[in-house]
Amino acid sequence: MLPHSIRQTLIQKSNAPHRQRFPLSVFGFFKRLFSAKKADGGSRTEEEERVYSWLYTLARSDKNLVFEYVRSTERGLSFTEAERRLNENGPNVLYEHTYPKWWHLLWSALFHPFNIILIFLSSLSFITDDIGNGCIMLTLVFISVSLRFCQEYSSSKAAMKLSEFLRCPIKVQRCAGRFVQQELVVQVDQRDIVPGDIVIFEPGDLFPGDVRLLSSKNLVVSQSSLTGESWTTDKTADVRESLSTPLLDLKNICFMGTNVVSGSGTGLVISTGSNTYMNTMFSKIGKKKPPDEFEYGLRWIFYVLVAIMLVVVTVIFVADYSTSDDLSNSIIFAISVASALTPQMLPLIINTCLAKGAFAMARDRCIVKSLASIRHMGSMDILCIDKTGTLTMNRAIMVNHFDSQGIMQEKVLRFAFLNSYFKTDQKYPLDDAILAFVYSNGFRFQPSKWTKIDEIPFDFIRRRVSVIIETESPSEDRQSQLFGRFMVTKGALEEVLRVCSFIENFYNNEVSKFSSDDYNRILALAEGLSNEGLRIIGVAIKKLEMQTGETSIGGSKTSEENVETDMVFLGVITFYDPPKDSAEQALWRLAEKGVKAKVLTGDSLSLAMRVCREVGIRTTHVITGPELDQLDQETFHETVKRATVLARLTPIQKLRVVESLQTIGNHVVGFLGDGINDSLALDAANVSISVDSGVAIAKDMADIILLEKDLNVLVAGVEHGRLTFGNTMKYIKTSVIANIGGVLSLLIATLMLKFEPLTSRQLLTQNFLYSVGQIAIPWDKMEEDYEKTPKKWAERGLPMFILWNNPVCTLCDVGALLFIYFYYKAFGDQKFCHSAWFIEGLLMQTLIIHLVRTEKIPFVQDVASWPVICSSVVISAIGIALPFTPIGKVMGLTSLPLSYFGFLVVLFLVYFTIGQVVKRLYILVYKRWL
């Protein structure tokens, strides 16, 4: 027995509520803004260690001791005790998250740096009587908040769907009686099961909690909900496990959410609800992901703009007020400068870029649920994929037919074909594969000459199927080995060998006794074929006496037990799930774009390795889930970094692999999965991808749903993602340089001119025209070289980009100011200065995109797309023409001499020349531009 303190530690239920508090304090808000804590992907949580320890303790203990651990009896719990435990432990459901209320999510969506900027801008617009601009800003806030609120509200409910498939009535043994205790079998709702209950299960039943088996009869369990493998596993009560056995391979433990395929038995419930192994998986779903580098970058821009705004706007206000002595006008001018400093179209440009990418992917038969995933696709540098249905066709193809020596024999194929041809109970994919192989390779086995007598259908206890057939051959063929009545059996190799007493030796054409050497040789052959990634079934026959009237297996003369015995082993049939023709090409194209593929599968290592070799994935570094469990934290991370094939993984191991790549490897990880066992990894991945044929929870977790299981669609998605990222960065870098440079120029001009270089109305009009012109950026093109590598937000990229390029912009503005001063002597003419500065500033902000958008020489080596060209021409034309129109007169602008426009041509030629030199030096130092 365990000491009382240890037992209590193992079974103690965590009572700490996980609540999301309403963020009322400013401190809490800024704490969330700066929060950047990362999870360690290689270590188990305290809860997981507690569950593992408890399960291993019960698996290693004798059945009598198990009752003591859970404080139960062989009769089961009384109704009173069961009710008491239910009140104490709560309902038997997976970990019940305290889901945030809708107003919590709405508050969280509203208080985001993006929206703070927009709200601030709208306030400034209303203060400066720019009602239209203010309404536009508030509309953008409404759209942004609504989208984020709807997305987070729906994703927070996704985990609730996991418990739906667990609700069912359970047969439970309870004891009742005041004086004489009697054992009763009652049906109890799954939610009302408590630790200590004795459950009775049959084929089709779900296990309502983690169960220690008490008795079992031919028990076969499916653990696909936990492992993702379609294979079943045998369970037995008559065994005591060791610590070296992988958790999911424990024979005497059945886990919550798994189901009985065949057999029956009884078991003691040892864990329910949040203490089960399944809860350690699904309690992780729905947790908020840390912001990515792009979001951190946007926050950095927010902080920088606020800091510059506080400094520059204050200086401009003081300088303007000291010369004009007009307090209200100085305040309005300072607010207008603050509005001009902020990239007003940033939310619109980002959302437009993402929406454009989503429409493009929709044409490639992709449904994009999360717009941000488009950008993540462009940054993705590792794609984790499951083998089944993604790299392979997800169907069996017959490969070969061997005898016990590993030599191809037609007789093995003939009887396997006859078995598949005549069985009627249920056709399996392997039967179709055998029939297709025979027909496509020209074999003529003439099934019309055979008559089916009876059939013993497949079941998960015997794991084999048998048919009784006889020939209708003419009398001259009666001496042939193919004449007579035969029992033909095929199925799992171990089960077929179990009923064989003889073996056919094809090399000397005789049948001999089945020996231990034959058994070992066949197992060695099977192991070699399995290591090549092949699936194997055995084939055996038995010649029966042709007696009149014996036509039924279920009759009195014959039964399953005495017919499926003393059979002759013929050989094995091998099958393979071939890779898709498009898989190798798609993986090669992804590798060209810097995206490495890792296979994370629940299937066997040998099968995964064979598929990977055929599609071009290196298999020099491979590992299995049980081996990963034995590694320490540091070795775990290093192994995950190097491995390309990780097989026999549990859902939690898939999650840890993804988290390790994200946190320790600093990778942007995509995960492609379609099963319940993939939901954890899908929820954690930067880009989660599923298919339309996947289970509901996988599609709920996914950001992108493929309507075709084709990796080439993902290649197109990567290209769209990088185009989206590139165009977004164009706007961010252009707007930050133009806005900061323009505001610094305004500061210098204010100090030099001793009056406002532009009125508030002129400044807002200039900013509005420039902002409208940038709407065309999402339709710009990218250079071919840009799409060849993953794109991430460079942590120091934007600050250095500003420091290198801002002075060029400000220098040209100051040059225009000096030209106005020395050539036109117009510092006393405010209208002339306003008009000249208005046109120069607007042209500078409009044309700067052409310098920033490409590494090459603008207009010479590379030309922007026609929407960007048209936008620049239209906005420039409006700006130049405005001072000559009645609207310009109302705004306080005046016409300018032709010589000034000639100067502007020279000025911008100088700007583009200096800017291109700075660009080449920047690329030489930092090896990148955008």
Q: Write out the catalytic residue numbers.
A: 386
The dihedral over CA atoms of 29, 31, 36, 39, expressed in degrees to the nearest 10, equals -100
339-356 CB burial, b ≥16 within 10 A, e <16: bbbbbbbbbbbbbbbbeb
Give the three-class secondary structure for 632: coil
Give the Cα separation of 600 and 229 in Å (integer). 12
CA distances from 739 to 147, 341, 531, 844 (A): 28, 5, 63, 11
| Structure-block tokens of residue 904 | 């502007």
Say if residues 130 and 149 touch (Cβ distance below 8 Å). no
- Side-chain-side CA neighbours of residue 824 (13 Å): 20
Give the three-class secondary structure for 840: helix
128-134: long-range pairs with CB below 8 Å, 24+: 128/332, 128/335, 128/336, 128/339, 128/760, 128/764, 130/764, 133/344, 133/764, 133/768
Tokens 């994200």 sit on residue: 662
Give the three-class secondary structure for 510: strand
Give the Cα separation of 84 and 325 in Å (integer). 80
What are phi and psi for residue 242, nearest 5 degrees?
A: -120, 165
Count Cβ atoms within 10 A of the Cβ of residue 924 and give its class: 0-12 exposed, 13-18 middle, 19 or more buried: exposed
Tokens 């990634």 sit on residue: 533
User: Taking the CA atoms of the chain, what radius of gyration do you get in angstroms?
Assistant: 37
Tokens 């540098």 sit on residue: 381
Say if residues 540 and 500 touch (Cβ distance below 8 Å). yes
**Strand 169-176 to strand 182-189: parallel, antiparallel, or no bridges (unpaired)?**
antiparallel
What are phi and psi for residue 468, nearest 5 degrees?
A: -110, 120
The dihedral over CA atoms of 898, 899, 905, 907, expressed in degrees to the nearest 10, equals -140
Query: Which residues are paired to 553 by β-bridges?
Result: none
Report the amino acid identity of residue 62: D
Phi/psi-derived region of residue 594, left when phi > 0, alpha when psi is between -120 and 50, beta in every other case: left
Report the amino acid identity of residue 247: L
Give the Cα separation of 537 and 398 in Å (integer). 11
Give the Cα separation of 820 and 814 in Å (integer). 10
Task: Name every residue whose Cβ is closer than 8 Å to that of residue 415 and which is 6 or more positions away in sequence.
Answer: 486, 488, 490, 539, 541, 570
| Structure-block tokens of residue 185 | 């079998």
Give the Cα separation of 776 and 769 in Å (integer). 13
CA distances from 193 to 69, 223, 263, 272, 350 (A): 17, 21, 22, 7, 51
884-895 CB burial, b ≥16 within 10 A, e <16: eeeebeebbbbe
What are phi and psi for residue 671, nearest 5 degrees?
A: -135, 130
| Secondary structure string (H, E, C) spanning 146-193 | HHHHHHHHHHHCHHHHHHHHHCCEEEEEEEECCCCCEEEEEEEEHHHC
Rounded to a whole number of angstroms, the distance between the first and last alpha carbons of the chain is: 65
